[in-house]
A and B are shown apart, each in its own frame.
Chain A
Amino acid sequence: MKPFAYARPADVAEAVRDVAAEPTAVFLGGGTNLVDHLKLGIVRPDLVVDVRTLTSRSIDDLQDGGLRVGAAVTNSELAADRRVRERYPVLAQALLAGATGQLRNLATTGGNPLQRTRCVYFQDASTACNKREPGTGCSAVGGYTRYHAVLGVPAALPDPTAPETCIATHPSDMAVALAALDAQVQVLGPAGARTVPFVDLHRLPGEDPSRDTVLEHGELITAIDLPPLPAGARSAYRKVRDRASYAFALVSVAAVASGNGDVRLALGGVAHKPWRATRAEGVLRGGPLTEDTVRAAMAAELAAAQPQPGVDSGNGFKIPLVTRTVVATLRDLEA
């Protein structure tokens, strides 16, 4: 670990100024991901700005019937909130499906969506990784791809030596639920405050896999707003993983169903970002929700899916698995 300066400014404005002024500076929230990365040499900041006590740690009712969740609210607190459990079960379930009790007690609302990929090559500073060290290539191609993307990747097998190649997935469960809920992200940056739709927060690798989100350097998440759901909406989160707890998703599904084929679906474990399944939603809209229509909708969504070969048979299994998981989730939701 490289030594760094640690700052605990008086307020969020000062925190933003501090980080904006130092190109390698990072914000510290719960630290459940960043501290690991500091130890592993994956990030080497000169300045760590602790914002844990600066942003709101309360969950407030909004006038439109939604909720505003302060960035410092822990994952445990958010999952336990009665309003969240009653109105947004998909979010409470996603939170409780993530990590462990100890980690959820530390992890924050602002920090969780900004956790970085669990790609084993990203996490090993001795291997090539375009996300960690732009231009070095991608060790995951043809390697251990079980936790890697099948959506939002090139149609052909990616070139491991190309600087834009990255087949990593975003690991957050909470983020998948927030994508399905059409949450809004309140951001404060050097240029002032702005609101970013959650579905636009994360990005695909594009030309620059090192950037996970659209946030600019120095921008800080201060709160996340949950809009009200239509009356009678039901929601659920289903996570499929290799062991029953304390594992990242192979695939996951966040579903919100409001009747009349109005279904919102977000998929986890399949792409560089929480994947809002807009094609499938379009196919289902206005029609009956049956196993056949769901399968057809998922076939449309997954038409461009590209399995990544690799050791231990690669990750092609995710394509049938995610369809099966969506079918099971919607079946349980309708039951």
Chain B
Amino acid sequence: MTDLLEPRAIGRDLVRRDGVAKVRGTATYAYETPVERPAYAHPVQATVARGRVTAMDTATAEGLDGVLAVLTPSTAERLASTEDREFAVLQSDEVAFRGQLIGAVVAETSELARQAADSIRVTYAEQSHDTELSADRDDLYAPGKVNAGHETDTSEGDVAAAMASADVTIEQTYTTAMYHNNPLEPHSTTALWDPAGDGHLTLWDSTQGVHPDRAAVCEVFGLAQEQVRVICPYVGGGFGSKGTPHAHVMLAAMAARALPGRPVKLALTRQQMFFLAGYRTPTIQRMQLAADRDGRLSAVAIDVVVQTSRIKEFAEQAGVPARMMYAAPNRRSTHRVAALDVPVPSWMRAPGECPGMFGPEVALDELAEELGIDPIELRIRNEPEVDPDTGKPWSSRHLVECLREGAERFGWADRPPARHRDGNWLVGTGVAASVYPTMRQARSTANLRYEDGRYVAEIGAADLGTGAWTVLPQITADALGVDVADVDVRIGDTEYPIASVAGGSSGTNTWGSALVVAARAFREKFGGSPSDGDEVAGDVDQAAQDEDHAAYAFGAQFVEARVHADTGEIRVPRLLGVFAAGRIVNPRTARSQFVGGMTMGLSMALHENSVWDPQVGQVANHDLAEYHVTVNADVGDVQAHWLDEHDPFVNAMGSKGIGEIGIVGTAAAVVNAVHRATGVRVRHLPVTLDKLLPGL
């Protein structure tokens, strides 16, 4: 149990502290960092999906006036560590996927760098590539662990026996597509190498964590922490793709070392982001549900197949949420991975939960239909007393309340019958549950100082548009018992104490915990009337981390879908979510997170799809004209509500993390609503009109 802070600033919808600077355009992003005499780097990418580079003709590039350096696998510096092969840039002539970095040009202007890079003629010894994910491959393997350290497989009871003896079973395969994060701000870095002494590298990098970023760079280049500074006050979105650096950061640092004393800027183009900045693996989910006539589940099983790159394993944990969501005595989950000649997958908003709640929540809808039970009631009947996976009690679980409040607000009881027709439109409603684990990272430190009559906290945290600039002062103010206007929190620089990544919806939980420890230590040491310069540091108190409870945020998503009876066009006029995510620190920024997550879920349901072309070996639709993200015209009434949830076990703020849960479950709710409207059950995302036409 934790003593929750008395909320005074917490819970207020304070405006974003960084809002004015962003609206005025004075907030500087990594690429815009004002530096002296910048040079510009442009990457060269492989145009085969597998093989070796046998020659690179760089003569034209080198002959262009203003070209400063040309980096190739044969001329680039040798890196200290090539263990992480995503980061082992230009260290060998091997091509492991199409679009891989095989060179770079540094020039006086970005245009010239791009022109010179385009002029480089590359000769390959091409090998046949293998890029097609399938559940039938004979080389699928079980990884040691899946993402976030989860067990690869779990099993309890006997699913096969339960399936054989159940009144009703559902056995279906669901798939989610490949998705690319596509933050508005492309991945970009400004790098400056100062050769004096042992050398010092400064990186202005668009990142979700300056300290994790620095650690990766130090490892790759064999530098001490003191030799590298990473600065990132503002991030134009990341959605996980900036949670770890990608190869271009190493390339930018290499380019800077090739031009000591000159800052080098590198920004990926939108097209390059489809090869180099991570993505969400496609998933294949084989679901099995067994239930009695009353809808009580006797078995839940999910067998997941995902892909990774041959050079680096990232095994998305899509089978994990089904382990704990509903009660059933017999349960199984497995993960199998195909290692392919494809780019390296990585984190994308709610890795695991986002794709992993698609199959199960659609399967439940299918079961509800089969049984003739309302899908909300079916979920309520399978509400577990304790976490089915660990047996631990819940720190708090209010899924049922979310479903009930959502049903009330949405008007679920009065919903139209299946295949209801309104003019030329078929109308249906759907529901799905959402979940996201409440996480706190082990390590973060905050420094708190009294300075010119104000309290100044420093921590290397990141605000990727989520609101950290605003909510961290709220937490600090309440921990100190002062007005929030008297508190400054400085973030986004490795000069400040170490902070964990803004990922896993853990930022506020983790950094806030460190700030609370620092604030309490400050009051203990200096009392209520500190002197100028009084200062303490506080670490996340890992010893106080509750290990006895299963901590999750829960939610319920409601959707109204309309399908044109002639053309199959799909519109979603209403999207409503209710969440139980602990105490909400700032309703204004929180609402943005929920609504943004839900909209991204809508986008996943209807539009987003990195179409893989196995002939060429790349994403075919690799720009934002062809890779569709939901636009304003697709978004109707989106409402996010939350319960006033009190959870004394998670942390001193009582907060659970809200950045990711909004995307979880949305796609299933859309599919369920489309089914109700049309009678067509789409099990493979995205839901597009061609999948509905045969049933209309």
Contacts and interface: CB of A to CB of B under 8 A. Distances in A.
Contact of B631 (A120, A245, A312): A245
Given A1-B111, A123-B623, A242-B607, A328 B567 contact: yes
Interface in B102-121: 111, 114-115, 118
A324 B613 contact: no
B428 to A, nearest CB: 18
B47 A126 contact: yes
A328 B566 CA distance: 7
Contacts of B614: 311
Contact of A324 (B607, B688, B693): B693
B454 to A, nearest CB: 43
28 contacts: A1-B111, A3-B115, A118-B626, A120-B621, A120-B622, A121-B616, A124-B622, A126-B47, A139-B613, A139-B615, A139-B616, A142-B615, A143-B613, A146-B611, A240-B689, A241-B569, A243-B607, A243-B628, A244-B571, A244-B634, A245-B631, A248-B625, A311-B611, A311-B620, A312-B611, A313-B690, A321-B690, A321-B693
Contact of B566 (A147, A242, A245, A324): A324
B690 A243 contact: no
A250 to B, nearest CB: 8
Nearest to B636: A244
B630 interface: yes
Interface string B6-45: 0000000000000000000000000000000000000001
Contacts of A144: 611, 613, 620-621
A6 interface: no
Contacts, number: 93
A240 B567 contact: yes
Contacts of B625: 118, 248
Interface of B: 45, 47, 111, 114-115, 118, 271, 424, 564, 566-569, 571, 606-607, 609, 611-616, 620-623, 625-626, 628, 630-634, 688-690, 693
B566 to A, nearest CB: 4
A127 interface: yes
Contacts of A327: 566
Given A121-B616, A126-B47, 11 more contacts: A118-B625, A139-B613, A142-B615, A242-B606, A246-B633, A311-B620, A320-B693, A321-B567, A321-B690, A324-B566, A324-B567
A147 B625 CA distance: 12
Nearest to A246: B631
A328 B115 CA distance: 49
Q: Is the interface of A mostly helix, strand, loop or mixed?
A: loop
Given A243-B628, A245-B633, A321-B690, A311 B111 contact: no
Q: Is the interface of B mostly helix, strand, loop or mixed?
A: loop
A59 B606 CA distance: 40
B566 A127 contact: no
Contacts of A146: 611
Contacts of A317: 689-690, 693
Contact of A1 (B115, B424, B628, B689): B115
Contact of A311 (B271, B613, B631): B613
A328 B612 contact: no
Contacts of B566: 324-325, 327-328
B593 to A, nearest CB: 23
B634 A243 contact: yes
A142 B690 CA distance: 18
Task: Count chain B CB atoms within 10 A of each CB in A41, A124, A312, A324 and give the residue with the most.
Answer: A312
Closest 9 CB pairs of A and B: A317-B690, A245-B633, A144-B620, A244-B633, A328-B566, A126-B47, A244-B634, A324-B566, A143-B613
Nearest to A3: B115
Interface residues of A, number: 37
A2 B616 CA distance: 26
A239 to B, nearest CB: 10
Nearest to A40: B271
Task: Count chain B CB atoms within 10 A of each CB in A147, A242, A327 and give the residue with the most.
Answer: A242
Contacts of A250: 689
A247 interface: yes
Task: Count chain A CB atoms within 10 A of each CB in B118, B613, B622, B623 and give the residue with the most.
Answer: B613
A316 to B, nearest CB: 8
Contacts of A242: 606-607, 628, 688-689
A143 B620 contact: yes
Contacts of A244: 571, 631, 633-634
B632 A245 contact: yes
B84 to A, nearest CB: 26
A167 B690 CA distance: 20
A121 B618 CA distance: 11
A275 to B, nearest CB: 18
A123 B625 CA distance: 11
B693 A328 contact: no
Contacts of B115: 1-3
A313 B616 CA distance: 17
A245 B634 CA distance: 8
B198 to A, nearest CB: 40
Given A41-B118, A144-B613, A243-B606, A325 B567 contact: yes
A243 B616 contact: no
Contacts of B571: 244
Interface in A65-79: none
Contacts of A3: 115
Nearest to B98: A126
A112 B47 CA distance: 32
Interface in A1-26: 1-3
B208 to A, nearest CB: 28
Interface string A215-251: 0000000000000000000000000111111111010
Contacts of A126: 45, 47
Contacts of B630: 243
Contacts of A243: 606-607, 628, 630-631, 633-634
